[in-house]
Amino acid sequence: MSAAVPTDDPLVRERAHLTSSRAALRAMREEVEALDIKDVTANWVNSIVLERQIEDRVKALADLAHTPLFFGRLDYLPPTQHGQRFYIGRRHVHDAHGDPMVVDWRAPVSQPYYQASKKDPRDVGLRRRFGYTGGELTAYEDERLSDPTEEERTSRLLQTEIERPRVGPMRDIVATIQPEQDEIVRAGLSGTVCVQGGPGTGKTAVGLHRVAFLLYAHRERLARTGTLVIGPNRSFLQYIEQVLPALGELEVKQATVDDLVAHVEVRGADEAATAVVKGDARMAEVLRRAVWSHVTAPAEPLMVVRGSRRWRVPAHELEEIVRELRERDIRYGAAREALPQRIAHAVLVRMEQAGEAPDDRVQNAVARTAAVKAVVKECWPAVDPAKLVLRLLGDADFLAEHAEGVLDADEQKLLLWAKPARSVKSAKWSAADAVLVDEAADLIERTHSLGHVVLDEAQDLSPMQYRAVGRRCTTGSATVLGDLAQGTTPWATGSWEAALTHLGKPEARVEELTAGFRVPSEVIAYASRLLPHMAPGLAPVESVRENPGDFEVRTVAPETADAAVVAACADALRHEGSIGLIAADARIAPLAAALEAAGLACLSPGEETTAESRLTLVPASLAKGLEYDHVVLDEPAAVVDGEPDERTGLRRLYVALTRAVSGLTVVHAAPLPEQLAVSA
Ligand SMILES: Nc1ncnc2c1ncn2[C@@H]1O[C@H](COP(=O)(O)OP(=O)(O)OP(=O)(O)O)[C@@H](O)[C@H]1O
């Protein structure tokens, strides 16, 4: 036998396929780069648009050193797909004849890669997973799904991928999407899906992959209508922002709910009780009444002078026109724009009755006369949404008039500013006020609706915020992701049915994810002790991690507490991966000083970790949705006490306890919250 590598070694053949696929991808990219658009573009606007499209396409065809071109292979059993073999990757690659070398993970032909099982092989003869080390194809693993003699076993490669320590921002999970996750990822565009799942069950990952899937399946439609991912805060959005570009999707917008409703500058904050009333769905009715209260019946007849003739429309007829417009299901502003033409039409009818033959131009001219404008101004005045809310929050009588029978006296009192603001500019608007302004704005002019919206950490939204998100997908669909046990706002939703109704999607499907991919079993068991106390009825997450996790609770003396936290961080830094030091917001400043004094540099949430700086100091209020390889949790009692009530405090603690991937060290000087004691 020769010393050369045997050619029947499957790994050698797979590497050869990888090499030729990369060559094919390079050829595809060169073909796009060589496109000469001079002859095809008639004008410079077209050419700029085309150039950008080409640039994007070139970017999408980049061969990324650390992103393997394919991660799996499917061999179908004939006659399905003619018994063909498909390599599954992040993007489609074809050879010079147009034959696929790699198929997109989103293509229908790839779906059995995620869904096929021994019980339901879906005509798959062989599923092969590939393992890579630093961009090199180094391993593979086979499952002969249709072979009855082969036993079902857990995939080592899949498990290794799940166990891999976390370092920087969130990464995609295309190689290891689980069947129940895949069902949600590939759900049709027309329906709204709501996913309830405990910490680390992959809700965010599923939501992002769903957008990527929908963009693949409905590219043109969604390019026209737009897609949006909504997250709780900026650091969360920074944490997830690289996932979609890594999947070749560069056009998806990201925002917080506050960004969406930024009509006014938010400089104030509400007391919890006030914010609860402002976020209550009944506010929509108060605003609706307040906006429409501006419409009044005309008291005087209209007199239009044209040339030598005068045309009169009696008040009762004007009133009829106004009433008819009011009864139509259109926005206040749209009706206001239609009103001058309606009045002018009434004048025109009179002209015709008098034997004249006026055309459209005459009607337009009448609509623009000062007399018609005066009627419109009097009985259908322009309404500015911010001014309207300003008045509601500053004028007790105006509020009482429109809140009657909707809000009780105490609730109205809570709404009113202690000192009414003078102007929209000087008012100390709160985040909840901005949502009210958005509701009012929508009553006046319809909000633009997108094709698909992903709403993450949805449990924390108020009914009014759900409405604000809902009007941005009235003509589209949504993916709603959340965990009722992680709701930490005073208005957090208690049921998905209620939330979906406020969103305007009561028919949405609610799915549940229960397998935990983040938190090791020992840590999730510890955190789950809190569940019966703050979210009874919700089942604990079942960790699929094999690593039980490094879990330690260190009890220290109060005077050495900060030093003990610093020491725990230093210990954690001896291992690879990212470290998150999570503490009650009030503890952030002293801990930052202690870390600095000890010479340990730290980042803020959302800042990207690097090999040199891996420690992030995270206020408990910003921990939601994030994860770190190792978490040091400072003083659980302070995290609970940092919230206005115990239930919210325990939920905040639950969030903090469930951010760890490989290990959790709890450091405390104060007694631990009693709910963390072993539950009976
Ligand atoms: N199928 C999977 N294969 C590998 N890793 C996965 C899989 N699903 C989820 N993960 C990983 O598990 C971790 C948690 O996922 P994710 O943040 O989406 O969970 P979540 O349910 O949104 O959590 P939280 O409720 O805490 O916000 C991430 O690192 C994610 O990449």
Contacts of 207 (CB under 8 A, 6+ apart): 195, 229, 454, 456, 479, 481
- Give the ligand 1 atom nearest the CA of 175: 3
- Give the ligand 1 atom nearest the CA of 198: 25
- Give the ligand 1 atom nearest the CA of 655: 26
Q: How far is CA 177 from the centre of its chain?
A: 19
SS3 percent helix, strand, coil of the chain, rounded to 5, is 45, 15, 40
In the block, tokens 């997908």 appear at: 473
Structure token pair of residue 650 = 């325990």
Distance (Å, whole) CA 365 – CA 372: 10
Distance (Å, whole) CA 61 – CA 248: 8
3-state secondary structure of 305: strand
**Antiparallel, parallel or unpaired: β 509-513 and 193-197:** parallel
Distance (Å, whole) CA 553 – CA 672: 10
Burial (CB count <10 Å: 0-12, 13-18, 19+), residue 330:
middle
Structure token pair of residue 533 = 């106390």
3-state secondary structure of 560: helix
Output DSSP code: residue 442. Answer: H
Residue ranges in the chain modelled with pLDDT below 50: 1-3, 679-680
Output the CA angle 253-255-260, nearest 5 degrees.
Answer: 110
pLDDT, residue 4, reads 53
In the block, tokens 């003078």 appear at: 422
pLDDT, residue 546, reads 83
Q: Which residue owns the Cα nearest ligand 1 atom 27?
A: 625
Measure the CA dihedral 190/195/200/206, to 10°: -10
75 beta partners? 85, 126
Distance 610 CA to ligand 1 centre (A): 21
Distance (Å, whole) CA 322 – CA 342: 9
Distance 518 CA to ligand 1 centre (A): 6
Distance 625 CA to ligand 1 centre (A): 9
Q: For the complex shown, is ipTM > 0.90?
A: yes
Would you tell me how many other CB atoms lie within 10 Å of the CB of residue 546? 12
Output DSSP code: residue 558. Answer: G
- Which domains are seen in the chain, by residue range? 10-153 (no CATH), 180-264+444-516 (3.40.50.300), 302-379 (no CATH), 521-676 (3.40.50.300)
Would you tell me how many other CB atoms lie within 10 Å of the CB of residue 474? 14
Distance (Å, whole) CA 650 – CA 528: 11
Distance 626 CA to ligand 1 centre (A): 10
Burial (CB count <10 Å: 0-12, 13-18, 19+), residue 516:
buried
**Residues lining ligand 1, judged by CB closer than 6 Å?**
161-162, 173, 176-178, 181, 197, 199-205, 483, 486, 517-518, 625, 627, 658
Nearest to 661 by CA among 289, 319, 200, 348: 200
Nearest to 526 by CA among 368, 651, 677: 677
Q: What is the dihedral sign for C-alpha 374, 379, 380, 384?
A: positive
- Give the ligand 1 atom nearest the CA of 181: 1
DSSP for 232-257 reads SSHHHHHHHTTHHHHTT----EEE-H
Distance 200 CA to ligand 1 centre (A): 5
- The answer to whether 346 and 332 have CB atoms below 8 angstroms apart is no
Q: What is the 3-state secondary structure (H, E, C) of 395-429?
A: CHHHHHHHHCCCCCHHHHHHHCCCCCCCCCCCCCE
- The answer to whether 367 and 343 have CB atoms below 8 angstroms apart is yes
- The answer to whether 369 and 302 have CB atoms below 8 angstroms apart is no
Burial 85-105 (b: 16+ CB within 10 A, else e): ebbbbbbbbbeeeeebbbbbb
Burial (CB count <10 Å: 0-12, 13-18, 19+), residue 142:
middle
pLDDT, residue 1, reads 40
Q: How far is CA 377 from the centre of its chain?
A: 41
- Counted residue by residue, the chain has a size of 680
Write the single-letter amino acid at 549. G
The annotated binding site for ATP is made up of: 197-204
Nearest to 613 by CA among 167, 52, 25: 167
Write the single-letter amino acid at 499. A
User: Beta-strand (E) ranges in 116-192?
Assistant: 124-133, 136-143
Contacts of 80 (CB under 8 A, 6+ apart): 123
Distance 203 CA to ligand 1 centre (A): 6
Ligand 1 pocket mutation pick from 201, 541, 659 by most atoms within 8 angstroms of CB: 201
Ligand 1 pocket mutation pick from 204, 512, 544, 624 by most atoms within 8 angstroms of CB: 204
Distance (Å, whole) CA 457 – CA 484: 9
- Give the ligand 1 atom nearest the CA of 658: 26
pLDDT, residue 556, reads 97
Q: Which residue owns the Cα nearest ligand 1 atom 5?
A: 162
